[in-house]
Amino acid sequence: MEPHELQEQTEHAHHSGQKAVGLTMAIVAVLLAIATLLGHRAHTEEILTLTQNVDDWDFYQSKHNRAYMFGLTAEIEALLSNNKDAAIKNFKTSVEEECGVPAPKECVSPVLKKSAVLQQLLEQNKSASAEKPEKAESHPDEAHPASPAGESAGKQAGEPSAKHEKGGKEAVTKEGAVQIQERARDGQKEVKVFEQQSDHYDGAELFLEVSIVLCSIALLAENRLYWKLSFISTVLGIAMAVWGLLVH
Residue 8 included in any domain: no
pLDDT category, 170, cuts 50, 70, 90?
low
Q: In Å, what is the CA distance from 153 to each residue of 128, 147, 246?
A: 15, 11, 46
AA letter at 167: G
Angle at alpha carbon of residue 157, lines to 155 and 160, rounded to 5°? 70
Distance of CA 139 to the CA centre of its chain: 51
Domains identified in the chain, total number: 1
In terms of residue numbers, what domain contains 100?
Answer: 19-246
The rounded distance, in Å, linking the Cα atoms of 47 and 41 is: 10
The rounded distance, in Å, linking the Cα atoms of 124 and 143 is: 20
pLDDT tens digits, one per residue of 188-203: 999 999 999 999 999 9
The rounded distance, in Å, linking the Cα atoms of 192 and 198 is: 10
**Do 148 and 161 meet the contact criterion of CB atoms below 8 Å apart?**
yes
Residue 5 included in any domain: no
Residue 13 included in any domain: no
| Mean pLDDT, rounded, of the chain | 78
**Do 32 and 153 meet the contact criterion of CB atoms below 8 Å apart?**
no
pLDDT tens digits, one per residue of 27-36: 999 999 999 9
Burial of 89: CB neighbours in 10 Å, binned 0-12, 13-18, 19+: middle
The rounded distance, in Å, linking the Cα atoms of 175 and 159 is: 14
Residue 145 included in any domain: yes
Q: How confident is the model over 160-189, as a mean pLDDT?
A: 73
Residue 62 included in any domain: yes
**pLDDT above 80: residue 220:** yes
Q: What is the dihedral of CA 68, 70, 72, 73, to 10 degrees?
A: 160
Residue 67 included in any domain: yes
AA letter at 154: G
Residue that wins the pLDDT comparison between 175 and 166: 175
Residue 1 included in any domain: no
What's the whole-model pTM score? 0.66
Q: What is the pLDDT of residue 131?
A: 60
**Is the bond preceding residue 145 a cis peptide, omega within 30 degrees?**
no
Residue 26: closest CA among 228, 215, 217:
215
Supply the DSSP string of 176-232, one letter for each residue.
Answer: -HHHHHHHHHHHHHHHHHHHHHHHHHHHHHHHHHHHHHHHHHHHHHT-HHHHHHHHH
174 forms beta bridges with 101
Residue 9 included in any domain: no
pLDDT category, 3, cuts 50, 70, 90?
very low
Distance of CA 1 to the CA centre of its chain: 73
